[in-house]
Amino acid sequence: MIRRPQRRGQNFHGMISGAPQMEALFRLLERVARANVSVLVRGETGTGKELVARAIHELSPRQKNAFRAVNCASFSSELLASELFGHVRGAFTGAVRDRRGLFALADGGSVFLDEIAEIPLEVQARLLRVLQEQRFVPVGGTDAVKVDVRLISATNKALRREVEEGRFREDLMYRVRVVPIFLPPLVERQGDVELLVWHFIEKFNERAGMPRRIEAISAEAYQALLGYAWPGNIRELRNVIEYAFVVGEGEALAYEDLPPELRGEGPRAGRGEREEEGNGERSERQRIVAALRAAGGSREDAAEALGISRTTLWRRMKEFGVEG
């Protein structure tokens, strides 16, 4: 049985980590927060992009003012325009009264636009005006409203590719990504899988209504957790631990308490051949990193776990830029 190690890592505005690359990121966020510029956070789904945005706001001179967040992929074009800029009565069917949007509500503070690449082109033109002039016109209105907001946005897509394919305005891209910040996937954060496993176990141990307490993890379950590629990153890890609390019994988290994908039953999201085109290389790199970590850095054991020769593993490590 594996019990909680002494190593705890640090809690930086809700982000738990002990990885060197995350320590460097935290120091960068402290510097970026001081300047009143737009920030674009790049990272895979579930890596904690909104936590990064909140940290920038909380570290900035705007910290005492509002922080407003919205997922741009959750709205139609008309509703997103209303959510961001507000509307006047009668602007569209159902607009029975004036409504203030996020930019007005966050005046003096920060607005976080998650999945910014999903904003329709007609709404992008409105957003560009806010960034250029710090003013906007509510949907159905005629008078411009002046605001003072800082924009922090996030995406898991390459905006340059979106621009090339005509889905995103080039002038808006340069406005939103004055400072790009890249958030690494969980599998590349050295030692953070272990830290976060125990962090979430502690959280669920403290939650009222949970059917069990977990004090240890079986060696087999622990290896499965460390060897998984975590395509859903921190959000997926949290869900896996919550699942184990619900389906298992007793004080030890057993291998049988893990979801089927961690036990190799069914498709393993994270394998290159099952990823969408364009994600194959990233997925293969994650599998190699996960196998090396689970093998304690032994290339021979990692190659055996991956079902390839040591020579093939060495070649793929070189191809994907994986350090020894």
Q: Given a cut of 50, is residue 151 above it in pLDDT?
A: yes
Report, in angstroms and rounded to the nearest whole number, the Rg of the chain calculated over CA atoms.
Answer: 23
What per-residue confidence (pLDDT) applies to 268?
Answer: 45
Tell whether 155 and 62 lie within a shared domain: yes
Looking at residue 60, which CATH number applies to its domain? 3.40.50.300
Buried b (16+ CB within 10 A) or exposed e, 186-219: bbbbbbbbbbbbbbbbeebeeeeeeebebebbbe
Containing domain of residue 256, as a range? Answer: 186-320
Q: Record the tokens describing residue 157, joined without a space.
A: 């897509």
144: left (phi over 0), alpha (psi -120 to 50) or beta: beta
| Residue pair 294/223 in contact by the 8 Å Cβ criterion | yes
What per-residue confidence (pLDDT) applies to 196?
Answer: 96
Q: Given a cut of 60, is residue 2 above it in pLDDT?
A: yes
Looking at residue 190, which CATH number applies to its domain? 1.10.8.60
Q: Given a cut of 80, is residue 270 above it in pLDDT?
A: no
- Which tens digits make up the pLDDT trace of 48-87? 999 999 999 999 999 999 999 999 998 888 889 989 998 8
Tell whether 303 and 272 lie within a shared domain: yes
Q: pTM score, two decimals?
A: 0.78
Q: Is 7 within the bounds of a domain? A: no
Contacts of 297 (CB under 8 A, 6+ apart): 324
What per-residue confidence (pLDDT) applies to 317?
Answer: 78
- Which tens digits make up the pLDDT trace of 94-104? 777 888 889 99
Buried b (16+ CB within 10 A) or exposed e, 127-148: beebbeeeebebbbbeeebebe
- Which tens digits make up the pLDDT trace of 22-35? 999 999 999 999 99
Integer Cα distance of 228 and 261 in angstroms: 9
